[in-house]
Amino acid sequence: MSQNIREFLRRNIREYLRDETGAEWAVFLIALPFGVIGVYLPLYGRELGASAFQVGALFTAFGLVGVFARPLVGLAADRLGRRPFILAGALAYALSAILCAASFTLPLLFASRIAAGVGSALFWVGTRALLADLGRDGSRARLFGRLVTASTTGASAGTVAGAGAVFLLGIVLGWRVVFVGFGLAGALALALLYRRVPTGMPPKAAPVARRSSPAGLVFLLGVAFVVAAAYAMLVPIVLLYFKDRLGYSEFLLGVVFAPSAVVYALAPARLGVLGDRYSRRVLIAGALLGSAVSSLFSSFAPALLVLGAVWLMEALLVSAAVPAQEAVVSELSGGDVRGRAYGFYAAATGLGGALGPLAGGWLYDNAGLASPFWVNAAVLSLSAGLVLWKLPEARPAGRTATVRVEADSPA
């Protein structure tokens, strides 16, 4: 994994001076805490006396903030530009890391999650809208792939640092030490964004001869909510499940998941181009079905090598589908409302992400240890069928330049 991280850093050192926004570097730094939160927040919360339901509530606190804030951020970003919200989001993320480092009590840990929710609402809506503005030549899925790669690479690097700190110092002290470093990284990301994010307003949508039905966007928002809830219900309980049922250590599970983490870190930038060439609907549905299969295998706790292979398959499918899904949101909206579209999209995923951990924690405590995996698999399978049946298939912008005038409008 360290070799892949070095590859990412070398590539970005060469490209940084040519990068108009500096987004990849900043996203890499901002994303450093993400993996540590996903892996170690349940364990750290337990050290502070949290129950499984309260661990789920820590994830819910993050999501609920975004549910209310993201549509408003999207509306404001269409009127005021993307830059102020990207910068404010980076600042909130840095504050969240500092609060995590100082979280000696459960209320402080909740405060850090609320700050992260504010940062997520501000930063990701602004960043996605900006990249959609810059990708009007038919390269949106590729750009979103690079964004996902920067984020997952940063999360992977942060997880390596966090695992080392926890191994050497224990969960409590290791958590606090590594989040001090994440706070400093967040401050550096803010400085990079301040210098590199362009000023100005988003492009106005020009009249078009054919536009996707708003019903397609509404359908996508509904699916995004359901799918986010299904994925999120596993977040607080996956590590607990394998520890409680089979006694696997965090280190052993980390080794098994490492190949998948490498794929999540590097593949989106390379596979994102598939969403600009082939059916985005098929890519999204395939990833949902792959994740459903992964959940079923995980629920039966197979041999670790089999589990690692299934997780690797899921990582490849998801890495191709996530950039395509981000691009679909852009295709179903126009330049002057794109911020609002991403705001509502992020709110839908945030609401699902907020309710999912609560459902997962409750099922884990009351309906059996494996029940969240079964519910997840059923919901994702049904969602895959709905996507194939109902999701509009937007044609790549590069092949519709004569129809969509917006694709040739200046930035």
Higher per-residue confidence, 107 vs 11 = 107
pLDDT in tens, 391-411: 766 554 444 332 222 222 323
pLDDT at 100: 92
Instruction: Tell me if 365 sits within 8 A of 52, measured CB to CB.
Output: yes
Q: How confident is the model at residue 403, as a pLDDT?
A: 26
For the residues 343-369, what does the mean pLDDT come to? 80
Closest C-alpha among 235, 298, 260 to residue 156: 260
What does the alpha-carbon distance between residue 23 and residue 8 come to, in Å, rounded to a whole number?
A: 14
What pLDDT sits at residue 296?
Answer: 81
The region of weakest confidence among 87-91, 283-287, 381-385, 389-393 is 389-393
Q: What is the pLDDT of residues 301-323, one digit of tens each?
A: 667 777 778 777 878 877 777 77
- Where is average pLDDT lowest: 109-123, 175-189, 258-272, 368-382? 258-272
Asked if residue 179 lies in contact with residue 98, where contact means CB atoms within 8 angstroms, the answer is yes
**pLDDT level of residue 254 (50, 70, 90 thresholds):** low
**What CATH number was assigned to the domain covering residues 2-395+402-408?**
1.20.1250.20
pLDDT (mean) for 6-19: 48
Higher pLDDT, 178 or 291: 178
Measured in Å, how far apart are the chain's first and last C-alpha atoms? 37
Alpha carbon of 147 to those of 22, 49, 69, 154, 322: distances in Å? 11, 36, 22, 11, 10
Q: Which of 131-140, 270-279, 357-366 has the highest mean pLDDT?
A: 357-366
**pLDDT value at 356 more than 70:** yes
Mean pLDDT throughout 113-139? 79
The CB density around residue 168, as the number of other CB atoms within 10 Å, is: 10
What is the rounded average pLDDT for all residues in the chain? 75
pLDDT band at 50 (very low <50, low <70, confident <90, very high): confident
Place of tokens 């250590």: 249
pLDDT reading at 180 higher than 90:
yes
Report the percentage of the chain scoring pLDDT > 70. 74
Residue 62 phi/psi, 5-degree rounding, is -60, -45
Which carries the bigger pLDDT value, residue 338 or residue 123?
Answer: 123
Q: Residue range 104-111: average pLDDT?
A: 90
The percent of the chain in helix, strand and coil, each rounded to the nearest 5, is 80, 0, 20
Give the dihedral sign, CA 248/249/255/261: positive
Other CB atoms within 10 A of residue 402 CB: 9
Q: Which helix (H) or strand (E) holds 374?
A: helix 371-390
Question: What is the pLDDT averaged over residues 265-292?
Answer: 75
Cα 30 from Cα 28, distance rounded (Å): 6
Of the candidates 101, 235, 120, the residue with the CA atom closest to the CA atom of residue 172: 101
User: What would the two tokens of residue 251 be?
Assistant: 């280190």
CA angle (357 as vertex; 374, 319 as ends), nearest 5: 70
d(CA 202, CA 196) in angstroms, rounded, equals 16
Share of the chain above pLDDT 90, in %: 10
Q: What is the mean pLDDT of residues 124-128?
A: 82
pLDDT at residue number 154: 85
Indicate if the pLDDT at residue 80 is higher than 70.
Answer: yes
pLDDT at residue 17, rounded to an integer: 37
- Cβ burial of 182 (10 Å; 0-12, 13-18, 19+) is buried
Report pLDDT digits (tens) over 194-216: 877 766 555 554 444 344 457 77
Mean pLDDT to the nearest integer, 74-89:
83
Question: Which among 128, 112, 13 has a CA at the least distance from the CA of 58?
Answer: 112
Q: Does 8 score more than 80 pLDDT? A: no
334 pLDDT more than 80:
no
- The full DSSP string for 35-73 is HHHHHHHHHHHHHTT--HHHHHHHHHHHHHHHHHHHHHH
Three-state secondary structure call for residue 9: helix
Q: How far apart are CA 311 and CA 256, in angstroms?
A: 9
Kindly calculate the radius of gyration of the chain based on its CA atoms and give it in whole angstroms. Answer: 20
- For the stretch 356-369, what's the b/e string if a residue is b when 16 or more beta carbons lie within 10 angstroms of its beta carbon? bbbbbbbbbeeeeb
Cβ 398 vs Cβ 276: under 8 Å: yes
What six digits make up the tokens of 20? 């108009």
Q: Would you give the distance in Å from CA 256 to the centre of its chain?
A: 21
Query: What's residue 157's pLDDT?
Result: 86
Over residues 178-206, mean pLDDT: 78
| pLDDT at res. 113 | 93
User: In the predicted model, what is the mean pLDDT of residues 60-79?
Assistant: 80
Q: Residue 87, class by beta-carbon neighbours within 10 Å (0-12 exposed, 13-18 middle, 19+ buried)?
A: middle
Q: pLDDT class for 135, splitting at 50, 70, 90?
A: low
**Highest averaged pLDDT of the listed ranges 147-151, 167-171, 319-323:** 167-171
pLDDT for res 250:
62
Residue 410: DSSP 8-state: -
